[in-house]
């Protein structure tokens, strides 16, 4: 945190009147301010609504109470006006800066206009971003990042000292890295729990630290830590995509940067539902051995002003903190579908969240690989489809006959069957033309239910029966899929090198269709007009 500490000192030297520090690390904020006060020859004071005003005792490295009656939000301002050469920290003052308390906003504006000769600095600290619009020009914001590897190494050694464990000269690197993304207090707790449960702190305790990190990440509500069991061999077809991932994964190896390679930014997987996009996202985590975080964009949006933007920044900070990592956003179009009317429907929140995300995608330097999937191309904002934000846009089509054969084989093997010996895979693949991978999986499941109910082994005719009773998306969304293919021909890379099979015509089918099945694609709307 040395860089942020120096930035704080420079801001105070530059006569910045009000500084806002965003972090959950209360003790770290105190330490940085104490160092700044010592270097600049100022007194450091702290106000909070429970204890009142305290002064930092440099010699004893502790807080000393000087006015426990100063709990009201107006009291620190009069104290601030009466003193020179001070740094005054207002801790968790954000509830007193709402529109219902304009007097406090005005007090802060008055403090920002104080004379330069007073050497007074007001610091606001809080765990998340919140600042009234009236103060946006007066307040400088510092957002403390999560602890670095070096910070966590210090925490690890402190835990060893507290439990009287011999401190290794060269701690286990993977154990320290397992705590990346945690706050100082969380990391201390994770190391302590790992020692209490196992009686040691070695590489063997990595799963214990990761388990604690999972619990912390889940508390955010919008991120989920995945332990994928799926591998790329569990994904049928998509040979072009698999080859691309294998080559791009090498960019994270030692020597890649010296060779001139940069970290891959991410991919956008577009295509028909049930064709293996989400399965591929999970498999990438296993392929590259990176932590896999699933971002729930629906939970990013909060009801409080500024909460949604704060949530997306928090999620991206966590992904960067545990980098190299994979950030998976499933069905991203559902979260971004209201972008065009955002200014009218939600005050521009969706637009600002998308803007924050796209700017991060463009500017990020940490090795966070984004995997975004989408089923409905028409709802994606054009900004997301531009090259440069992602490395490549892949279109995932329906599997052809050879790929269906591979998919059926994979699902039969998962059910402990011998597909090459006991089943006619070629016939099953031929009869399931137009089926997606998910529909083939369901056909195998349905066949298993039938065979189990009749008390016999699974046979080809069970699977063929399930196939014959299934109406695939290729049939119910025939027009939409055709138009999606036309769109993808010039705007995306085919995830498979196989030539797509033409869709069968079913114009005579009297199948009722939902509006979204027929008109979800913008190209079809244009045709209707």
Identify whether the C-beta of residue 189 lies closer than 8 Å to the C-beta of residue 212. yes
Q: What is the mean pLDDT of residues 49-61?
A: 93
pLDDT tens digits, one per residue of 275-312: 999 999 999 988 998 889 999 887 787 655 567 877 88
Q: How far is CA 5 from CA 1, 12, 65, 282, in A?
A: 6, 11, 25, 39
Closest CA to 54 of 64, 42, 44, 62: 64
| Residue 54 clears pLDDT 80, i.e. is over it | yes
| Residue 406 clears pLDDT 50, i.e. is over it | yes
136 three-class SS: coil
Reported as a pLDDT band with limits 50, 70 and 90, residue 130 is: confident
Reported as a pLDDT band with limits 50, 70 and 90, residue 456 is: very high
pLDDT tens digits, one per residue of 100-111: 889 999 999 999
Categorise residue 470: left if φ over 0, alpha if ψ from -120 to 50, beta otherwise: beta
pLDDT tens digits, one per residue of 199-216: 999 889 988 998 888 887
Instruction: Tell me whether residue 169 is exposed, middle or buried, using C-beta atoms within 10 angstroms of its C-beta: 0 to 12, 13 to 18, 19 or more.
Output: exposed
Identify whether the C-beta of residue 274 lies closer than 8 Å to the C-beta of residue 473. yes
Cα gap 77→4, rounded to integer Å: 26
According to the model, what pLDDT value does residue 513 have?
A: 59
Q: How far is CA 41 from CA 54, 120, 468, in A?
A: 18, 12, 83
Q: Mean pLDDT check: name the lowest of 179-183, 271-275, 276-280.
A: 179-183
Cα gap 495→394, rounded to integer Å: 5
Reported as a pLDDT band with limits 50, 70 and 90, residue 124 is: very high
pTM, to two decimals: 0.76
Match 């998919």 to its residue by tokens: 407
According to the model, what pLDDT value does residue 517 have?
A: 53
Cα gap 343→36, rounded to integer Å: 42
| Residue 235 clears pLDDT 80, i.e. is over it | yes
All structural domains of the chain: 2-143 (3.40.50.300), 149-219 (no CATH), 226-396 (3.40.50.300), 401-529 (1.10.8.60)
In terms of residues, how long is the chain?
529
Match 């006959």 to its residue by tokens: 401
Cα gap 150→477, rounded to integer Å: 54
Q: What is the largest CA-CA distance in the chain?
A: 91
Q: What is the mean pLDDT of residues 45-58?
A: 95
Strand locations in 389-512 (E):
392-396, 493-494
* Cis ω for the linkage preceding 247 (within 30 of 0): no
309 three-class SS: helix
From the CA atom positions of the chain, what is the Rg in Å? 29
**Average pLDDT score over the chain:** 86
According to the model, what pLDDT value does residue 181 have?
A: 81
According to the model, what pLDDT value does residue 219 have?
A: 78
| Residue 67 clears pLDDT 70, i.e. is over it | yes
| Residue 389 clears pLDDT 60, i.e. is over it | yes
According to the model, what pLDDT value does residue 508 have?
A: 47
| b/e sequence 127-151, b meaning 16+ C-beta within 10 Å | ebbbbbeebeebbeebebebbeeeb
Q: What is the mean pLDDT of residues 10-33?
A: 92
Reported as a pLDDT band with limits 50, 70 and 90, residue 75 is: very high
Cα gap 295→292, rounded to integer Å: 10
| Residue 516 clears pLDDT 80, i.e. is over it | no
| Residue 478 clears pLDDT 50, i.e. is over it | yes
Cα gap 25→22, rounded to integer Å: 9
243 three-class SS: helix
226 three-class SS: strand
pLDDT tens digits, one per residue of 325-377: 999 998 888 777 655 545 555 557 778 888 888 888 888 888 999 999 998 87
Q: In this structure, what DSSP letter does residue 354 have?
A: H
Q: Is the dihedral of CA 376, 378, 381, 387 positive or negative?
A: positive
Reported as a pLDDT band with limits 50, 70 and 90, residue 320 is: confident
Categorise residue 274: left if φ over 0, alpha if ψ from -120 to 50, beta otherwise: left
Which residue did the predictor score with more confidence, 386 or 403? Answer: 403
Reported as a pLDDT band with limits 50, 70 and 90, residue 515 is: low
Cα gap 435→433, rounded to integer Å: 6
Which residue did the predictor score with more confidence, 405 or 519? Answer: 405
Cα gap 55→78, rounded to integer Å: 16
435 three-class SS: coil
41 three-class SS: coil
Identify whether the C-beta of residue 489 lies closer than 8 Å to the C-beta of residue 454. no
Give me 238's structure tokens.
């998509």
Q: Which residues contact residue 60 at a Cβ distance below 8 angstroms, ignoring those fewer than 6 apart? A: none
270 three-class SS: strand
At 476, phi and psi to the nearest 5?
-80, -25
Q: What is the mean pLDDT of residues 496-517?
A: 69
Identify whether the C-beta of residue 66 lies closer than 8 Å to the C-beta of residue 53. yes
Contacts of 216-221 spanning 24+ positions with Cβ under 8 A: 216/181, 216/182, 216/186, 217/181, 217/293, 217/318, 220/311, 220/314, 220/315, 220/318, 221/296, 221/299
Give me 149's structure tokens.
């590897």
Cα gap 501→486, rounded to integer Å: 13
Percent of the chain with pLDDT over 90: 50
Q: Mean pLDDT check: name the lowest of 127-131, 220-224, 281-285, 483-487.
A: 220-224
Cα gap 218→238, rounded to integer Å: 32
């Amino acid at each position: 945190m040395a860089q942020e500490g120096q930035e704080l000192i420079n801001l105070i030297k530059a006569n910045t009147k009000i500084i806002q520090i965003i972090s959950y690390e209360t003790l770290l904020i105190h330490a940085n301010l104490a160092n700044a006060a010592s270097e600049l020859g100022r007194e450091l004071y702290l106000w909070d609504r429970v204890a009142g005003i305290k002064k930092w005792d440099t010699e004893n490295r502790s807080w000393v109470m000087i006015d426990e009656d100063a709990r009201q939000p107006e009291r620190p301002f009069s104290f601030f006006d009466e003193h020179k050469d001070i740094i005054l920290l207002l801790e968790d003052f954000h509830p007193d800066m709402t529109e219902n308390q304009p007097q406090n906003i005005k007090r802060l504006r008055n403090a920002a206009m104080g004379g330069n000769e007073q050497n007074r600095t007001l610091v606001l600290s809080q765990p998340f971003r919140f600042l009234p619009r009236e103060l946006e020009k007066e307040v400088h914001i510092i957002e403390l990042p999560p602890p670095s590897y070096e910070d966590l190494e210090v925490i690890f050694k402190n835990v060893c000292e507290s439990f009287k464990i011999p401190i290794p000269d060269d701690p286990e690197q993977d154990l320290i890295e397992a705590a990346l993304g945690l706050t100082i207090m969380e990391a201390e707790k994770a190391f302590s729990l790992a020692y209490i449960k196992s009686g040691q702190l070695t590489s063997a305790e990595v799963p214990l630290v990761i388990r604690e990190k999972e619990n912390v990440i889940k508390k955010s509500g919008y991120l989920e830590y995945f332990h994928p069991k799926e591998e790329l061999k569990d994904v049928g077809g998509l040979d072009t995509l698999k080859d691309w991932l294998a080559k791009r994964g090498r960019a994270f190896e030692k020597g890649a940067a010296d060779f001139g390679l940069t970290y891959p930014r991410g991919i956008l997987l577009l295509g028909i539902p049930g064709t293996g996009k989400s399965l591929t996202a999970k498999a990438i985590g296993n392929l590259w051995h990176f932590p896999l975080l699933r971002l729930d964009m629906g939970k990013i949006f909060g009801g409080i002003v500024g909460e949604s933007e704060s949530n997306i920044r928090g999620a991206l900070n966590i992904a960067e903190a545990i980098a190299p990592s994979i950030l998976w956003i499933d069905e991203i179009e559902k979260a971004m579908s209201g972008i065009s009317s955002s200014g009218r429907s939600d005050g521009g929140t969706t637009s600002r969240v998308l803007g924050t995300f796209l700017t991060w995608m463009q500017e990020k330097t940490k090795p966070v690989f984004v995997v975004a999937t989408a089923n409905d191309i028409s709802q994606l904002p054009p900004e997301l489809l531009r090259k440069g934000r992602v490395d490549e846009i892949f279109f995932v089509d329906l599997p052809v006959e050879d790929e269906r054969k591979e998919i059926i084989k994979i699902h039969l093997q998962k059910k402990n069957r011998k597909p090459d010996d006991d089943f006619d895979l070629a016939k099953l693949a031929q009869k399931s033309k137009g089926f997606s991978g998910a529909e083939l999986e369901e056909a195998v499941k349905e066949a298993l239910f039938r065979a189990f109910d009749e008390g016999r082994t699974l046979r080809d005719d069970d699977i063929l029966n399930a196939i014959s009773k299934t109406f695939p998306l290729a049939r119910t969304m025939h027009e939409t899929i055709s138009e999606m293919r036309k769109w993808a021909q010039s705007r995306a890379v085919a995830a498979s090198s196989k030539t797509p099979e033409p869709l069968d015509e079913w114009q005579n089918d009297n199948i009722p269709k939902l509006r979204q099945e027929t008109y979800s694609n913008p190209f079809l709307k244009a045709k209707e007009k």
